Chain A
Amino acid sequence: MLEMKGIDKSFDGKVVLSSVSLGLAAGEFFSILGPSGCGKSTLLRILAGFDHPDRGEVYLSGASVTKTPPHARPVNMVFQRYALFPHMDVAENVAFSLRIRKVARAERLRLVDEALALVAMDGFGRRRIDTLSGGEQQRVALARALINRPKVLLLDEPLSALDLKIRVRMQAELRSLQRRLGMTFVFVTHDQSEALTMSDRIAVMNRGRVEQVGTPQDVYERPDTAFVASFLGAMNRLRGQFVGPVAGKSTHGWVDLGAGTRFMARLPRLQQNLPIGREVQVQVRPEKVQLARVRQQEPASSAQDVHLNEFSCTLSDIFYRGATVDMSGVFQAQSSVVTATLLNADRGATSLGVGDSVRFGFAADDAWILNSEESHEA
Chain B
Amino acid sequence: MKHKGGGLALPLALWLGAFLVLPVAFVAIYSLLKRGAYGEVIWTLSLHNYARAMDALYLGIFSKSLMLAALTTCVCMIIGFPLAYTIATASKTWRSLLLAGLMVPFLTNFVVRVYAIRVILGVEGPINHALMASGLLTEPLMMTDSLFAVAVGMVTNYLPFMTLPIYVVLEAFDFSLLEAAADLGARGWTILFKVILPLSRQGLVSGATLVFIPVLGEYMIPDLLGGARTMLLGNLITEQFLKARDWPFGAAVAMILILAMLGSFAVQRALAGKGATLAQA
Contact = CB atoms under 8 A, between A and B. Distances in A.
Interface of A: 48-50, 69-71, 75-77, 79-81, 83-89, 92, 96-97, 100-101, 128, 144-145, 148
Contacts of B276: 86-89, 128
Nearest to B182: A70
Contacts of A85: 177, 180-181, 195, 199, 279
A71 B187 contact: yes
Contacts of A88: 276, 279-280
B112 interface: no
B272 to A, nearest CB: 13
A131 to B, nearest CB: 11
A87 B198 contact: yes
Contacts of B11: none
Given A81-B174, A85-B195, A87-B279, A48 B183 contact: yes
B104 interface: no
B178 to A, nearest CB: 9
A49 B187 CA distance: 13
Interface in B170-224: 174, 176-177, 179-187, 190, 194-195, 198-199
B111 interface: no
Contact of B186 (A50, A71, A79, A148): A71
Contacts of B199: 85-87
Contacts of A69: 182
B187 A83 contact: no
Nearest to A45: B179
Chain B, interface SS category: helix
Contacts of A86: 199, 276
Contacts of A89: 276, 280
A144 B176 CA distance: 15
28 contacts: A49-B182, A70-B179, A71-B182, A71-B185, A75-B183, A77-B180, A77-B183, A79-B176, A79-B179, A79-B180, A83-B174, A83-B180, A84-B180, A85-B180, A85-B181, A85-B199, A87-B198, A87-B276, A87-B279, A88-B276, A89-B276, A92-B279, A96-B184, A96-B186, A96-B194, A97-B185, A100-B185, A128-B276
Interface residues of B, number: 21
Nearest to B197: A87
B278 interface: yes
A191 to B, nearest CB: 21
Contacts of A80: 176
B177 A83 contact: yes
A298 to B, nearest CB: 56
B198 A50 contact: no
Interface string B267-281: 000000000101110
A83 B194 CA distance: 14
Nearest to A141: B180
A228 B280 CA distance: 49
A140 B108 CA distance: 52
Contacts of A145: 183-184
Contacts of A100: 184-186, 190
Residue in B177, B181, B183, B279 with the greatest tally of chain A CB atoms within 10 Å: B183
Interface string B35-53: 0000000000000000000
Contact of A76 (B176, B183, B187): B183
A81 B184 CA distance: 16
A216 B194 CA distance: 42
Given A50-B182, A71-B186, A77-B179, 18 more contacts: A69-B182, A70-B182, A71-B182, A75-B183, A76-B183, A79-B179, A83-B174, A83-B176, A83-B177, A84-B180, A85-B177, A85-B195, A88-B279, A89-B280, A92-B280, A96-B186, A97-B185, A97-B186
A105 to B, nearest CB: 11
Contacts of B177: 83, 85
A166 B119 CA distance: 67
Given A70-B179, A79-B176, A87 B186 contact: no
Contacts of A79: 176, 179-180
A144 B184 contact: yes
B215 to A, nearest CB: 29
Q: Which 8 pairs of residues, A with B, have the shortest CB-CB distance?
A: A83-B180, A97-B184, A70-B182, A83-B176, A100-B185, A87-B276, A87-B279, A87-B198
Interface in B25-40: none
Nearest to A97: B184
A101 B174 contact: no
